[in-house]
Each structure stands twice: as structure tokens, then as C-alpha cells.
Amino acid sequence: MFLVYIQGKLLLRFNRLGSNHIVRLSGGSKQKKAFFNQAPIATLDNSATRIVAGYVLDGAGIEMESIEISCQVGDDCHYNFPIDIEEGGVSAFPSPAVAPSPQPLADGIAVKKPG
């Protein structure tokens, strides 16, 4: 299980989400069920709130509809919100073609543009 601790307060996991914004638990491992039930797990910091960064697919399971942050306990979604979605797909960063020009830093040093 790949997890990211965020300042000791949040424990982030990456997973596919259903249309109800939760991870399906049926058929999952005991550890997965414990994680999403917010139950204690010996190897984790159990004081951190467990959240998921995940993607939601369309009804056909082909196209990504959204990227969401979700907090679930068992089969209940306590909250969720979209990260970012644009017409024509999901985008978290500007494409290199529209990225801003590098800005000079102190002492004449500039950030080099990739490419």
C-alpha cells in the first residue's frame, strides 16, 4: 500500500473511486478494509485522517470524469471535492506550450524552461 503522510495530520492513498466517490471494499484485503473504515492499523500513524486522491470513470469505464479528494468511513463518503477538470480532459498543470516564461531570481539566476 503506497501512502503519503501530510504534516502528520493526513494520510493520503491513491485509488480508483466509484461514482459515489468511495473505494469499493467488497473483495478487498483486511488491511484495505481497515484503512477505509478508519480502523487502527499497527504500522500506521492512526491519529492521521485517511483520505483518498482518486479518479472517477464514466459509466462505460473508459473516460475519466473527475479527479477527487475523498474521505470515507466504511461505505459512507464523509466528504469529497474535485481537484480540477477542464473541457477535453483532466489537467493539473498548464501544458508546456502555455507555461509562463522563466522569471529571473536573485543574483541574475533564472529558472531554466524544460525542453
Indicate the helix (H) or strand (E) that contains 34.
helix 30-36
Residue 110 grid cell: 533564472
What string of pLDDT tens digits covers the 115 residues of the chain?
Answer: 788 888 888 888 898 888 888 888 777 788 888 888 888 888 888 888 888 999 888 888 888 888 889 988 888 888 888 886 566 555 555 555 555 555 555 555 544 555 4
Residue numbers of the domain that contains 49: 3-108
The reply to whether 114 falls in a domain is: no
- Residue type at position 48: A
Burial class (CB in 10 A: 0-12, 13-18, 19+), 59: exposed
The reply to whether 15 falls in a domain is: yes
How many domains does the chain divide into? 1
Angle made by CA atoms 54, 55, 57, in degrees to the nearest 5: 150
Give the separation between CA 57 and CA 18, rounded to whole angstroms.
8
Evaluate if pTM is beyond 0.75.
no
The reply to whether 55 falls in a domain is: yes
Give the separation between CA 89 and CA 65, rounded to whole angstroms.
8
The reply to whether 26 falls in a domain is: yes
